[in-house]
Amino acid sequence: MAFSSPMKKSAWLLFGCIVATTSTSNAQVKGEEGTPMIPGTPYRVHDGSRPQPPQVQSAGALTTPAPGDAKVLFDGKSLDAWTVGGKEATWKVENGTLIASPGDLQTKDTFGAVQVHIEWRIPAGRQVNGQAGGNSGIFLMGLYEVQILESHTNKTYPDGQAGALYGQKPPLVNASTPQGEWQSYDIAFEPPVYKDGKVVTPAKATVIHNGVVVQHGEEYFGTSTYRNLASYPENHPTDGPIRLQFHGDPIEFRNIWVRPLGERDKAPAP
Ligand code: MG
């Protein structure tokens, strides 16, 4: 097509600019440079250009009470189930809410395959930017992170947003609700299975965020790590604590419980 007048030509140039801006909008999300490729994908670890998961409206936290066979980890009062660095659990508790404070919080008990329920909230009015300002995480066995992040309006690399298996798998969709609102994760987790010092079945997680499935029996590539490809250690424990990350931000928690998953046709341990 020939341009018949200078005005038409400038209109086409303007159109071209708009198209270019739209198609590169993901590139504006800050990722990490120089990271390895994630196997089976055309994306790098913490890739800012990876497609942002579609946002879905959700009703916010499911406030499921602990079933009869659950171990209550936080009931609004006691931190008896927890420790920070092997010592007293020093995270703040205010008005029934647990507030992330210096040092990761981890359970005294250890677990293998589990169902976990946890409710969390980014306090209203947080200044957030990518991974900064609204970051925590729940680590199954102390090793496998499901990311907690302010992801309602805050964009980051998709393998680091709320509901991601951090550094490995973005959530299928973004079910995040705004700051100041309670959100929930219901997680079913299975540890890896080893045979003769090698992984035969990777660790696996299903994550339901605010009632929405965001990870469906997804396998971890290995234990959670930053900027690197996850891998499995030679020696792997059979169980480990549930750990809540302190990333410098006062993320709030309530109603936390866990159910160890038994095996079909086997009576539970007495
Ligand atoms: Mg985190």
Instruction: Give, for 204, the enclosing helix (H) or strand (E).
Output: strand 204-209
Centre of ligand 1 to C-alpha 149, Å, is: 7
What is the rounded CA–CA span in Å between residue 89 and residue 189? Answer: 25
Centre of ligand 1 to C-alpha 42, Å, is 24
Residue 269 falls inside a structural domain:
no
Look over the chain and give the mean of its residue pLDDT values, rounded to a whole number: 91
What's the CA-to-centroid distance between 263 and ligand 1, angstroms?
31
Is pTM beyond 0.75 here?
yes
**Calpha distance 73→260 (Å, rounded):** 13
Residue 57 carries which DSSP code? -
Task: Dump pLDDT digits (tens) for 246-265.
Answer: 999 999 999 999 999 988 99
Residues surrounding ion ligand 1 at CB below 5 Å? 135, 137, 245
Q: Structurally, how many domains does the chain consist of?
A: 1
User: Is a pLDDT exceeding 70 seen at residue 20?
Assistant: no
Amino acid at 89: A
Give the structural domain span for 189: 18-23+34-260
pLDDT at 269: 64
How large is the average pLDDT for residues 74-82?
98
Q: Quick one: pLDDT at residue 267?
A: 77
- pLDDT given at position 8: 46
In eight-state DSSP terms, residue 8 is: H
Q: Is residue 2 assigned to a domain?
A: no
For residue 9, what pLDDT is reported? 43
Q: What mean pLDDT comes out for the span 34-57?
A: 96
The model's pLDDT over 136-159, given as tens digits with 9 standing for 90+, comes to: 999 999 999 999 999 999 999 999
Q: What mean pLDDT do residues 173-186 have?
A: 98
pLDDT value, residue 268: 67
Whether 55 contacts 207, CB under 8 Å: no
| 208 Cα to the center of ligand 1, angstroms | 17
| Cα 121 to averaged position of ligand 1 atoms, centre (Å) | 14
Residue 34's alpha-carbon distances to 43, 182, 201, 221, 270, in angstroms, are: 12, 36, 29, 19, 51
* Rounded Cα distance, 220 and 217, in Å: 10
Residue 265 domain-assigned?
Answer: no
Q: What is the DSSP string of 152-194?
A: SS----GGGSTT-BTTTB--SSB----TTS-EEEEEEEE--EE
Give the span between the Cα atoms of 182 and 165, in whole angstroms: 20
Q: Report phi then psi at 207, rounded to 5.
A: -125, 125
Q: Is residue 80 over pLDDT 90?
A: yes
Is residue 71 predicted with pLDDT exceeding 70? yes
Amino acid 170 reads P
- Answer yes or no: are the C-beta atoms of 214 and 101 closer than 8 Å: no
Tell me, what CATH number does 252's domain have? 2.60.120.560
In-domain check, residue 266: no
Is 67 part of a structural domain of the chain? yes
Q: Looking at the domain assignment, is residue 133 inside a domain?
A: yes
Separation of CA 27 and ligand 1 centre (Å):
22
pLDDT tens column, 103-133: 999 999 999 999 999 999 999 999 999 999 9
Q: Residues 181-186: what's their mean pLDDT?
A: 98
Give per-residue pLDDT as tens, 195-239: 998 999 999 999 999 999 999 999 999 999 999 999 999 999 999
Higher model confidence: residue 193 or residue 8?
A: 193
Instruction: Check pLDDT > 80 for residue 4.
Output: no
Q: Which two tokens stand for residue 206?
A: 């299903």
The pLDDT assigned to 270 comes to 65
Residue 251 corresponds to which tokens in the numbers above? Answer: 């993320």
Residue 63 within any structural domain of the chain: yes
pLDDT, residue 24, reads: 39
80 within some domain? yes
